[in-house]
Structure 1
Amino acid sequence: MSIFPAIDQALEAFASFVWGPPLLVLLVGGGLALLIYSRGRPYRHLGHSIGLLSGRYDDPNDPGQVNHSQALSTALSGTLGLGNISGVAIAITIGGPGAIFWMWITALVGVATKFYTATLAVMFRGCDASGELQGGPMYVIREGLGQRWMPLAVLFAVAGLCGMLPVFQSNQTTQLLRESFAEPLGWVAPGGSLTFDFVIGLLIAVASAYVIAGRIQRIGKFSARVVPGMVLLYLGMTLVVIASFWEQVPAAFALIFSDAFSGQAIAGGTLGSVITVGVSRGAFSNEAGIGTESLAHGAAKTREPVREGVVAMLGPIVDTLVICTCTALVILLTGAWQQEGDIAGVTLTAQAFSQVFGQFGPILLLLMVLPLAFSTIVTCWYYGMKCYVFLFGGRWQGLYTWLYMILIVLGAVASLSAVNSIIIGMYAVMAVPTMVSTLLLARHVNRAAHAYFTRMEVAKREGAEASQ
């Protein structure tokens, strides 16, 4: 329960306002426009991403800080995790099962959006205050659109500083530990303990500081080692649950599709509210059009911007179409979403797994949540630091890191409502400069994509002729 209800209500009102119809049109409509403008060409080359991730095209002498696979792992570590677990639960709680359908829509058009934003992040890289090559929406705007568009770049960087706060991850990780372990074991009284939350937040902050000390190189290596294994573990858990209720799977999908256009599954539900919740949670999950993923993809070692765009397209597919769908099915099939009581966020997902795994459900979920939430926290520090340096230069970077550590602890003791509203609201603000600049510069991506894929097709044809 929040100790500042007035602040919670104000933040909820802010999030609802910025996620109004204009932004929904910009994100979904803009992504659809990019899909049509590209004539679907990026979708036809998804298979090329496998070759890129295998390292076949890597050159250590190329500009950038991390290779393609590390860039994707870093971007995924910023999206995979509590956004897929707690975020989906929040979407169903607030918007009903139909919200999942609109999350799918954001992913389908988000494939095209990420191709353009990641390509631009490499194409229009710029140097920061220390002379290091950087990518991201603020550099795309500065280098691609010029100085007269700098207010848009500043807007993204300011929103990024707030939207990349670690409060959501620390809040939901602490909630899972407290409600699934500390309270049942009698360590804390039901209803929570500020002391317990503070200690957990402090431990997360100390561990994060160690990885953050290695900057993007250590974050990239950590993410590449942790993310794939945790994703496979989570998918295995969800498949066991889905298999246990396999006869009800068609009905669950039918409920998602029917509620997507009715909103009847939520009290006072309307179609607009379902769409808003689905699109906002989908954007929070896969970050297509938000611009945060461009901060990671812009660090890729490559001289071919289109290559990183192709790699980035895998993000919405893995994140939303696969993992979020599995989470949604677990919650719907077990009936956890219809249970009485004030159950929200990661606790709802934990209860859903308990329907099949019993008391081991929360334990198995925790084994997956902790590494992914941790990787998201350190990745968001990297994103926030890039925004900080863009705004203030290289001065007092240590101050930002210390403030970030403090916010990890504060997030652990804050209310879920306030935390959710702050992050979702700032994601909406970030989407405006990202989508506007992407649509204005899309022609550069089309030209580069045409040249790159034409070279690929010619090389493939020549290789086939030489082998005959």
Structure 2
Amino acid sequence: MEKIDAFLAEASSLAWGMPLLILLMGGGTFLMLFSRLIPFRMMRHSIGILQGKYQDPNAAGQITPFQAMASALASTIGMGNISGVAVGIAMGGPGVLFWMWVSAFVGMATKFFTCTLSIMYRGKNELGKVEGGPMYMVTEGLGQKWKPLSILFAFAGLFGTLPLFQANQLTQIITDVVLKPSGVVGPDTFVSNLFMGIAMALLVSIIMFGGLKRIASVASKLVPFMVVIYTVSVLFIIFYNFSAVPGMFALIFEDAFTGNAVMGGAVMQVIIMGARRASFSNEAGIGTAAMMHGESQNNEPVREGLVAMWEPFIDTIIVCTMTGLAILVTGVWETNEGNGVSMTAAAFGAAMPSVGKYLLVLCVFIFAFTSLFSYCYYGSKCFTYLFGFKYRRLYDYFYILTIVIGAVVTITSVINLVDTAFALMAIPTMTCALLLSPKVLAATRDYLGRLRRGEVERF
């Protein structure tokens, strides 16, 4: 196991080197400037799109733009915000939050371009149904000679969208908050983690192979409720410790350019950690959201990009900031030895000793399971692109098996594997976005012209 951990750590370090940082952050900055900030100037119009004022009921696709955004956010808001931010602060210090903000603003432009392209260059699967995503953006937009990039994305996507992180963090918080305090388990938690992994796998199996629609419908109603509970809880922690907030913001900005808090002055490592955690949280430039938006019922590509660009803002600028502040103002980032969700649980417990940790357990449970289904959808699209629908069921079995694996392996191994896969997914996604950016800008100018002339129909 130690050799595997070392290999994954080395792979992650190599993948997230300076070239990828330039591709993601530099590429996103280029897209933002190349568009002359048009996406940001059209925010009011994008709200109208979200409200359904421009939704053509006869447009191609399976879901509305709002549903596409909500579905994409379902896989990020939750575990990425609850655990991902804590991992970033534990490994890189408070300054990581600043570079997450930078990545998010840059990521808004990236999401605009990639999700616009997901509608512009949709393809058809072997069943003849319209599908979108980086796999099709590459071949339909750049041509068949670029297909190796499509294959790279789909292959990396098989691993980047596995449920390892969700299973690991759900197991960890149940162990830390429920099992250990009650004396059910001791220091060695392998057996209990294994049983929890098997239980999760069985539950997910029942949902995946049985009444998915009915249970997913219940889950879709529970998630907004959980978001409200989590948001109110975090805001309570922040306002309860409000006097510490200005000092924490000062610490975030100071550490962002010094890296002294955790990294011993390694500022570049703080920047890389911020980019990694932001990418994991909002997935800008990675390409998973483009797979969801490619299914949107929309014949105006620019509209899809305008909807998608809100995701990094909501996910990272708002939700991740709240979680980060809760961890910082309670001081658990300095005293807590845990990583990931354990640190967030410690913050909840410090501010709300009686109920805090249990509220977080409830939120994590719901968020983890709903994101499991979003990730299964992403992974199955990658699998069927590579191997076709004939062996589709094999992927489901593999996916369920990795839930058990995720429950028993270390959080470090999980993070390194997912980060490596995300890095590989970013290469074709960003390459496609940069090479096809003139096409997006031309479509944007055409759409803006029609909008000014009153030629864009409202419904």
TM-score w.r.t. the length of structure 2 is 0.95
Q: In structure 1, what residue type is equivalent to 2:376?
A: W
- Structure-2 separation of matches of 1:320 and 1:267: 22
**CA shift in 2, pair 1:415/1:30, >3 Å:** same
Identity of aligned residues (%): 45
Does residue 290 of the first structure (1) align with residue 289 of the second (2)? no
Which residue of structure 2 aligns with residue 459 of structure 1?
454
Aligned AA (1:330)? A
1:359 aligned counterpart, secondary structure: coil
Give the whole-Å Cα distance in 2 for the aligned partners of 1:142 and 1:223.
Answer: 35
**Tell me, what secondary structure is at the counterpart of 2:338?**
coil
- 1:304 corresponding residue in structure 2: 300
Is the aligned partner of 1:28 residue 2:18? no
In structure 2, the partner of 1:466 is: none
Residues 71-110 of structure 1 deviation map (CA, whole Å, 9 limit, x = unaligned): 1111001211111111111101110100111111110010
Query: What amino acid maps onto 1:335 in structure 2?
Result: G
- 1:200-224 per-residue CA deviation (whole Å, 9 max, x = no partner) reads 2233223333544589988986675
**Structure 1, residues 93-143: CA drift from partner, whole Å, max 9, x if none?**
110100111111110010000001111011101001111111000100010
1:20-56, Cα deviation, whole Å (9 max, x unpaired): 0110011001001000111001111122333222233
Select 1:278's aligned residue among 274, 281, 298: 274
> Which residue number corresponds to residue 8 of structure 1?
5
The answer for the alignment partner of 2:98 in structure 1 is 101
2:375 — aligned with what? 380
Match for residue 236 of structure 1 among 214, 232, 247: 232
Rounded Cα–Cα distance in structure 1 between residues aligned with 2:175 and 2:360:
14
Whole-angstrom CA distance in 1 between matches of 2:10 and 2:16? 10
Please say if 1:225 is aligned against 2:185.
no
Give, in whole Å, the separation in 1 of the partners of 2:125 and 2:403.
26
1:188-247 superposed Cα distances (whole Å, 9 cap, x missing partner)? 22342x332223223322333354458998898667534433222211111100101111
Residue 54 of structure 2 aligns to a residue in which SS?
A: coil
Q: Write the deviation string for residues 304-347 of structure 1: whole angstroms up to 9, x where unpaired.
A: 1111111101100110000100011001000000005x311100
User: Matched residue of 1:261: which SS?
Assistant: helix
Q: In 2, Cα distance between the equivalents of 1:141 and 1:217? A: 32
Instruction: Decide whether the 8 Å contact of 1:74 with 1:220 is kept in 2.
Output: no
SS in 1 for 2:383: helix
1:123 and 1:460, CA in 2 relative to 1: closer, same or farther beyond 3 A? closer
Paired with 1:305 and 1:338, the residues of 2 have a C-alpha distance of 46
1:164 corresponds, among 138, 161, 164, to: 161
Alpha-carbon distance in structure 2 between the residues aligned to 1:442 and 1:367: 43
What's the offset of the Cα at 1:445?
1.1
Measured at CA, do residues 55 and 221 of structure 1 come closer, stay the same or move farther in structure 2, by a change above 3 Å?
farther
Q: 1:254: how far off?
A: 0.5
Secondary structure of 1:47's match?
A: helix
Q: What are the residue-to-residue correspondences of 1:279-428 with 2, within 5 Å?
A: 279-339=275-335, 342-428=337-423
Among 226, 240, 247, the alignment partner of 1:251 is: 247
Task: Please report how far the alpha carbon of residue 147 of structure 1 lies from its aligned counterpart in structure 2 after TM superposition.
Answer: 0.8
Q: Report the aligned-residue RMSD.
A: 2.1
**Do 1:65 and 1:301's aligned partners in 2 also have CA atoms closer than 8 Å?**
yes
Does residue 268 of structure 1 match 2:259?
no
Distance 2:99 2:174 in 1: 30
Aligned: 1:81 with 2:78: yes
Distance 1:316 1:354, change over 3 A: same
In structure 2, stretches of 5+ residues that fail to align are none
Is 1:67 aligned with 2:64? yes
The change in CA–CA distance for 1:215 and 1:115 in structure 2 (over 3 A counts) is farther
Structure 1 444/226 Cα, relative in aligned 2: closer, same or farther at 3 Å? farther
Asked if residue 126 in structure 1 is aligned to residue 108 in structure 2, the reply is no
Judge conservation of contact 1:59–1:302 (CA < 8 Å) in 2: yes
Give the alignment partner of residue 207 of structure 1, picking from 203, 222, 228: 203
Task: Compare 232-241 and 346-355 and name the one that shifted more.
Answer: 232-241
String of CA shifts for 1:355-384, please: whole Å, max 9, x gaps: 111031111112211111112111111111
Alpha-carbon separation, structure 2, partners of 1:102 and 1:433: 23
1:432-447 counterparts in 2 under 5 A?
432-447=427-442
- Partners of 1:220 and 1:180 lie apart in 2 by 27
2:172 to 171, 175, 180: 175
CA-to-partner distance for each residue in 1:133-167, whole Å, 9 max, x for gaps? 11000100010000110111111010001111110
Contact 1:164 1:384 in 2 (8 A): yes
Superposition TM-score, scaled by structure 1 size: 0.94
- Separation of aligned partners in 2, 1:215 and 1:152: 36
**How far apart, CA to CA, are the structure 2 residues paired with 1:116 and 1:85?**
28
- The structural deviation recorded for 1:274 is 0.6
User: Which residue of 134, 148, 169 maps to 1:151?
Assistant: 148
Asked if the contact 2:85/2:320 (under 8 Å) is kept, the reply is yes
Contact 2:113 / 2:437 at 8 angstroms: preserved in 1? yes
2:425 matched residue in structure 1: 430
Q: Tell me if 1:141 matches 2:138.
A: yes
Kept after mapping to 1: 8 A contact 2:92/2:263: no
Q: What amino acid does structure 1 have at the position aligned with 2:407?
A: A
Q: 1:10 to 1:120 in 2, by over 3 A?
A: same
Give the secondary-structure state (helix, strand or coil) at the position aligned to 1:264. Answer: coil
Report if the CA contact (8 A) 1:124-1:140 is conserved.
yes
